[in-house]
Amino acid sequence: MAKKFTLPEKPCQLGGKVITTGDGEGNDREELVKFSLEGLMLNAKEIDRVLGSGAHGRLFVQHKGDDIKPAFGDDINELKLAHRYVDSTVTLSLDGETVTLPAAKITNVVLQPQIGGMTWMACDIEAPAKLADGVEEIGNHAGLKIAAQLAFGQKPVLDKRQKNLPLGEGADDDDEDDEAPLAKAKKSNGNGKGVHA
């Protein structure tokens, strides 16, 4: 998976719900703006930027005389990426006004390969409201067609749902439980005969 990449400005639809919420507590509380984008259409080179070199060739097949079609047939109609892209920059074009959101997170990226070789994309955006001018304009355009440029940030990190457990967690309890019956068995077998209840 590429560390950093940019998708050029593309027409899309701004989600019908734009939320401004707080994150953190007390003085550390930060106002965030959250919204979704959908309908960005990616070509072969762009899908390779998102998923890595050769991805388009794995997602699509073309038989002689036929259109390019999704390789998975009717069984799978979309792919959801497990990563969140941090330190991204999202630029929205809203009826001639441009709103740039630095330090954004791009999450819940969904890809739907289409007949003809293009890939439909949707994603969620979360960004600090204080770093952007014109945040209120985003809410005014909710549910409308706009254009967006996405500069995907740092190397993807695991989503919060995919926490890694530390090695050996719970091992102490398990060892005690495993050793106790063994100790009892050794004591009961001291004379060479097992004790049965």
Mean pLDDT of all residues belonging to the chain: 81
Residue 120 located in a structural domain: yes
CA angle 117, 123, 124 (to 5 degrees): 175
Closest by CA position to 2, among listed 45, 57, 61: 45
Number of domains the chain is built from: 1
What is the pLDDT confidence band of residue 18, given thresholds at 50, 70 and 90?
A: confident
Torsion angles phi and psi, residue 153, rounded to 5: -90, -135
pLDDT of residue 4: 84
What is the pLDDT confidence band of residue 114, given thresholds at 50, 70 and 90?
A: very high
How does pLDDT run across 64-94, given as a tens digit for each residue?
778 899 998 878 889 999 889 999 999 999 9
Residue 118 located in a structural domain: yes
List Cα–Cα distances, 8 to 5, 90, 92, in angstroms. Answer: 10, 11, 11
Residue 173 located in a structural domain: no
What range does the domain containing 85 cover?
5-162
Are 87 and 156 contacting, i.e. CB atoms less than 8 angstroms apart? no
pLDDT of residue 134: 86
> How many residues in total does the chain contain?
197
